[in-house]
Structure 1
């Protein structure tokens, strides 16, 4: 096997996209859109800095980095945490559109952008509860 390919397979997606710096950039770009989005901004009305920080911690863990979210908040239990909010399929689509836009702005290869974005649709639709 190619040693470079083997090394890349051993690295988490978190590491391959650039770790914490990339996730900070992603969450900033993502929430710039979400907080202004006519359909889904209603879901994000509490402390905006805290929302962004929780997302960064979750994404770190979700993408194979350190278990930062669990260290601070316990098991993610994302569906249970989102259950108090009415989330429709249209909300999931809007969330994914904002994420796709944010991912597209990262200084990554098309392959890494695609791999990163591909992690989100299943989770977004899992949050639908109405």
Structure 2
């Protein structure tokens, strides 16, 4: 028998992560990695020079997407993710860099492996849906 309590099956991913502080830490690590690691340079090139607005928008979006407060919707309405990303060329390489960066950010911020796997699958589905070119 394990001393680790089982996660509450009714808890949202937002709650399991640790709420807003944990989502902010994840988003900040994601953008820090994008800025620091050469392997994410193609992904970084899709973003503005200053990442503050991008950080806030992803934080606001993820809070609601994970089952927490709907900060993004309150500010901007429905996310319309695909439409909002159409101006950017997103192919397999960009999707894969986004996923690698997010997986590294989840690992670096200590997200539970089981939760990270579940989130990774959901992130992949969304990231793949953003693609607007083949390569």
State the TM-score, normalizing by the size of structure 1: 0.89
**Distance in 2 (alpha carbons) for counterparts of 1:122 and 1:106:** 22
Q: How does 1:73-112 map onto structure 2 within 5 Å?
A: 73-112=76-115
SS of equivalent to 2:122: coil
Equivalent positions of 1:32-43 (< 5 A) are 32-36=32-36, 37-43=40-46
1:108 offset after TM fit, Å? 3.1
Q: Using the TM superposition, give the Cα deviation of residue 40 of structure 1 relative to its aligned residue in structure 2, in angstroms.
A: 1.2
Equivalent residue number for residue 13 of structure 1: 13
Contact 1:35 1:44 in 2 (8 A): no
Q: How many residues align?
A: 126
Q: Secondary structure at the match of 1:70?
A: helix
**What runs of 5+ residues in structure 2 fail to find an aligned partner?**
none
Aligned counterpart for 1:115 among listed residues 118, 122, 134: 118
TM-score by length of 2: 0.86
> Quick one: distance in 2 between partners of 1:26 and 1:56?
9
- 1:46 is displaced (CA, Å) by 5.2
Structure 1 gaps of 5+ residues are none
The CA deviation at 1:9 is 2.0
Secondary structure at 2:42 match in 1: coil
Question: C-alpha distance in 1, partners of 2:75/2:121?
Answer: 26
